[in-house]
Amino acid sequence: MNPKIHLVLRVSTLVALLCLFANMAFCAVAPRSGQTPAEMARRIADLEAYVRNTAPSTDGVLAGTPGPGHNGWLMTSSALVLFMTLPGLALFYGGLVRAKNVLSVLAQCLGIAGLVTILWWAVGYSLVFGKSFNSGILGGSEYFFFRGVDSMPNPDYAYWISQNVFAMFQLMFAIITPALIVGAIAERLKFSSVLVFVAAWMLVVYFPLAHMVWGITGRMNGVFNPGASIRAVDFAGGTVVHMSSGWSALVLCLILGPRMGFRKVPMPPHSIVLCMVGTGMLWVGWYGFNAGSALGADGISANAFTTTTLATAVAMVSWSALEWAFRGKPSVLGFCSGAVAGLVVITPACGFVTPGSAVLIGVLAGAVPFFACTKIKNMFGYDDALDTFGVHGVGGTLGALLTGFLATSAVNGNLTANLGGIVGRTLWIEQLKAMGFTILLATVSTAALAYATKALVGLRPTPEEEEVGLDLSEHGEPGYHHE
């Protein structure tokens, strides 16, 4: 074919397609028969609200309608957060234990996922995100057994997200939080004890804390509850997820005591390869964790995506540089630990801080947890097997405090609603209050629940079972067959 004729045909096709799309766009907003200018204005305003992820007009045609783009992003984010636990955290922790206990970690992650899902459906979602109790500590009973949790949005939390999708997204946070605790007590807690403890811990610690921080009537929800008694902020889980699990993990590992042979026989990770694969999965899944917490595919979500990336990469480099300086070589485990520390510390801040602040957070996220895991743990001699407290407890606490100093309304305009007078000034004081309350709730409750679990079903396997390994003694199967 003549090149000139070919060019004319291509241009003609392009023009035709542009005309078609323009006609479709015009028809989408064109006035229907009998439609007034005011009705037309509301329709256009609703479309603008959808694009901006703000509230539609109460009498508009889109009021109470889920938006496909925002809904699609949150469903994707929900899958990513589940991916963090299964298989991300399972492989990360599984690679760090000895070969005889690898399946026990996988079983604990799987068991927790199933148990927490049932609790969430029965009472958890309602206790966190309901409001019938009109309480700052627990939500309500209106959503027990997902009654009324359908595809229509709950405007208390998201204008364009189906409530059942929102409930699934929040479920994934509820699943991973107690699973983090597993790292501190790895290789020495019975499976039955894990299930009993986690069930009670969710009811006593997680559900109340999540409501206090994220519930519309929560006493520590400084962003959206004008009556909050502690006006703190937590974008994606610094207090709710990492501080609660990290400080609980420390108490539980102290009560449980060290592993047999701790500091007497070598206990190296059996597969740094699995650990690295799990780290990569955690990093990928964390975008759902952080960017998904904007509850829409909007500018705040984009900022959280960016700050998460920067802080994680910088923390990974920071940790490895310190390891290189103090230990002579940068290890793959150091890269993995630094990346996870960066993810943890940026979590409460990601939707509130600038990229420049994220870089600063990354530097501190690599340094502070590094010394917590290498110096403080050795100084006090506790057996935090996989450094849950050093990374999540210390890192989550650091992140919550840094958020108080670095959060800015220039990134997230929601901060101006109830916190305009303290953002950039005294917000860090409110963060200290929330941190103190979280530590108190997590540590006291964990101690009480640990001793109650011990009285009910016991905590540790017998020395003989622990020596054989939990894979065989608890689950009757080995992780590997060597022939």
Arithmetic mean of pLDDT, 343-353: 98
CA 188, 396, 116, 352: dihedral to nearest 10 degrees?
A: -160
Arithmetic mean of pLDDT, 301-316: 98
Please give the pLDDT value at position 36.
82
* 129, two tokens: 């995100």
pLDDT band at 8 (very low <50, low <70, confident <90, very high): low
Contacts of 252 (CB under 8 A, 6+ apart): 181, 184, 185, 197, 446, 450
Q: Does residue 70 contact residue 56 with C-beta atoms inside 8 Å?
A: no
Mean of all residue pLDDT scores within the chain:
93
Arithmetic mean of pLDDT, 176-190: 97
Contacts of 172 (CB under 8 A, 6+ apart): 78, 81, 82, 84, 85, 288
pLDDT band at 32 (very low <50, low <70, confident <90, very high): low
Tell whether the model's pLDDT for residue 21 goes beyond 50: no
pLDDT digits (tens, 9 = 90+) for 96-115: 999 999 999 999 999 999 99
Q: Does residue 367 contact residue 347 with C-beta atoms inside 8 Å?
A: no
pLDDT band at 394 (very low <50, low <70, confident <90, very high): very high
Q: Closest Cα to residue 407, out of 356, 352, 365?
A: 352
Tell whether the model's pLDDT for residue 135 goes beyond 80: yes
Tell whether the model's pLDDT for residue 27 goes beyond 50: no
Arithmetic mean of pLDDT, 39-44: 82
Arithmetic mean of pLDDT, 108-126: 98
Please give the pLDDT value at position 348.
98
pLDDT digits (tens, 9 = 90+) for 240-261: 999 999 999 999 999 999 999 9
Report how far residue 208's alpha carbon sits from residue 403's, in angstroms, rounded to the nearest whole number. Answer: 22
Report how far residue 260's alpha carbon sits from residue 187's, in angstroms, rounded to the nearest whole number. Answer: 9
Q: How far is CA 260 from the centre of its chain?
A: 33
Arithmetic mean of pLDDT, 43-50: 86
Task: Decide: residue 373, CB within 10 A, 0-12 exposed, 13-18 middle, 19+ buried.
Answer: buried
pTM of the model: 0.91
Please give the pLDDT value at position 61.
76
pLDDT band at 199 (very low <50, low <70, confident <90, very high): very high
Q: Closest Cα to residue 70, out of 303, 290, 297, 302?
A: 297
Q: Does residue 101 contact residue 187 with C-beta atoms inside 8 Å?
A: yes
**Which position has the higher pLDDT, 422 or 56?**
422
Please give the pLDDT value at position 13.
62
pLDDT digits (tens, 9 = 90+) for 402-432: 999 999 999 999 999 999 999 999 999 999 9
Please give the pLDDT value at position 11.
54
pLDDT digits (tens, 9 = 90+) for 452-478: 999 999 999 999 999 999 999 999 999
How much of the chain is helix, strand and coil, in % rounded to 5? Answer: 70, 0, 30
Please give the pLDDT value at position 132.
97
* 107, two tokens: 């079983």
Arithmetic mean of pLDDT, 341-356: 98
Q: Does residue 146 contact residue 219 with C-beta atoms inside 8 Å?
A: no
Arithmetic mean of pLDDT, 329-340: 98
* Domains parsed from the chain with CATH numbers: 68-475 (1.10.3430.10)
Please give the pLDDT value at position 42.
81
Tell whether the model's pLDDT for residue 4 goes beyond 70: no
Lowest-confidence pick of 24-28, 143-147, 277-281? 24-28
